[in-house]
């Protein structure tokens, strides 16, 4: 981790308390079951990048819920993901597809963390299906602490005049700091307009969420107004898809944190005070690591391939970044 500032190193060290150690006693799924909800006929790469990053960063199981016609292309990208083409757009619905929420619920209720938005598109039929999913996810199954990461077209739902009130109400169904939104500068402005607020802090306060405002420096603010800034160096090359890598890594870290905090796989003590790390701290650390790992992967990929950098190059570095952040010997 050459080049990282001392306070970054301290946060990374503390974040190790969020990552459960692998032992022979664990069974499949205990260290994170992630569900990515996204993908339509036009956009199949975005949900794949998010789900692939979650898998490579260490999630045990990764599911992907997508639109019917996106299923086959995404299945062809990787045999490691469990792809469920249970969503339907207007075209599919007028050509025999019937949306069955029970099939969606059967996938969602297995998962600890949802990522909603990558490559979802703006079709109104899909928007309605996803709204129902976001509304009902907190009550599906026995898991009352399910987490949600909202990005891309999921953020469009939040900022849309036609859907914002319903989305705001839905997000309140999750616990404090159990929702993360990851807007870029344009998306953040739209969200602030929809919420009628004028700062990142007020966005987080109003939604009860953590906002990861992407930019030259990533700004991370939780619902209590705690604000962290991440200026870890990334690459000089910007390409589409890097935000999808970010959502996948954040989701994985939330899955790890839930394994420790909610499912009590380990007793974690914050250094210096002898108390268990509170969820608010673990959630902030999860977002910080998501931001840091994404920047490190982007920089490592750029150092390797230069200006031709694509998101596939970056995702291929995610596993190496995890090992750099959390060496197996430590």
For residue 265, give both structure tokens.
């796989």
217 belongs to an annotated ligand binding site: yes
212 belongs to an annotated ligand binding site: no
Number of domains composing the chain:
1
Q: What is the DSSP string of 34-86?
A: EEEE---SS--HHHHHHHHHHHHHT-SEEEEEEEGGGHHHHHHH-SSSEEEEE
21 belongs to an annotated ligand binding site: no
Give the model's pLDDT for residue 330. Answer: 54
215 belongs to an annotated ligand binding site: yes
Determine, yes or no, domain membership for 250. yes
Q: What is the CA radius of gyration of the chain?
A: 18
106 belongs to an annotated ligand binding site: no
Determine, yes or no, domain membership for 316. yes
CA–CA separation, 225 vs 203, rounded Å?
Answer: 10
Determine, yes or no, domain membership for 229. yes
For range 60-84, the mean pLDDT: 96
Determine, yes or no, domain membership for 18. no
For residue 200, give both structure tokens.
């990142």
Contact at 8 Å (CB) between 139 and 109?
Answer: no
Contact at 8 Å (CB) between 177 and 222?
Answer: yes
CA–CA separation, 16 vs 134, rounded Å?
Answer: 30
Determine, yes or no, domain membership for 161. yes
For residue range 245-296, list pLDDT tens digits in order: 999 999 999 999 999 999 988 644 444 444 578 999 999 999 999 999 999 9
177 belongs to an annotated ligand binding site: no
Determine, yes or no, domain membership for 24. no
Question: Residue 313 belongs to a domain with what CATH number?
Answer: 3.40.1190.20
For residue range 206-260, list pLDDT tens digits in order: 999 999 999 999 999 999 999 999 999 999 888 888 999 999 999 999 999 999 9
Determine, yes or no, domain membership for 10. no
Strands (E), 99-174: 113-116, 147-150
317 belongs to an annotated ligand binding site: no
Determine, yes or no, domain membership for 98. yes
Q: By residue range, what is the domain housing residue 217? A: 32-325
For residue 146, give both structure tokens.
């399910």
């Amino acid at each position: 981790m050459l080049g990282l500032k001392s306070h970054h190193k301290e946060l990374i060290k503390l974040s190790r308390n969020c990552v459960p150690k692998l032992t022979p006693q664990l069974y499949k799924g205990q260290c994170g079951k992630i569900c990515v909800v996204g993908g339509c006929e036009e956009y199949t790469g975005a949900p794949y990048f998010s789900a692939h990053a979650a898998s490579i960063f260490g999630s045990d199981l990764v599911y992907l819920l997508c639109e019917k016609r996106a299923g086959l292309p995404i299945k062809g990208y990787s045999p490691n993901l469990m792809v469920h083409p249970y969503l339907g757009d207007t075209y599919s619905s007028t050509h025999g597809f019937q949306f069955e929420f029970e099939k969606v619920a059967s996938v969602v209720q297995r998962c600890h963390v949802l990522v909603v938005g990558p490559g979802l598109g703006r079709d109104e039929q899909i928007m309605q299906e996803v709204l129902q999913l976001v509304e009902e996810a907190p009550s599906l199954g026995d898991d009352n602490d399910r987490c949600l990461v909202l990005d891309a077209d999921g953020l469009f739902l939040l900022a849309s005049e036609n859907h914002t009130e319903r989305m705001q109400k839905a997000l309140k169904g999750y616990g404090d700091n159990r929702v993360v939104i990851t807007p870029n500068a344009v998306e953040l402005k739209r969200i602030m307009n929809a919420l009628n607020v004028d700062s990142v802090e007020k966005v987080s306060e109003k939604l009860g969420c953590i906002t990861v405002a992407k930019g030259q420096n990533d700004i991370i603010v939780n619902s209590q107004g705690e604000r962290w800034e991440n200026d870890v160096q990334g690459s000089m090359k910007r390409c589409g898809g890097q935000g999808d890598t970010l959502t996948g890594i954040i989701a994985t870290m939330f899955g790890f944190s839930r394994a420790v905090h909610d499912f009590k796989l380990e007793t974690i003590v914050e250094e210096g005070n002898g108390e268990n790390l509170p969820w608010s701290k673990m959630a902030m650390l999860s977002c910080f690591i998501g931001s840091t790992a994404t920047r490190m992967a982007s920089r490592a990929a750029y150092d390797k391939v230069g200006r031709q950098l694509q998101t596939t190059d970056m995702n291929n570095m995610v596993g190496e970044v995890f090992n750099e952040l959390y060496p197996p010997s430590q």
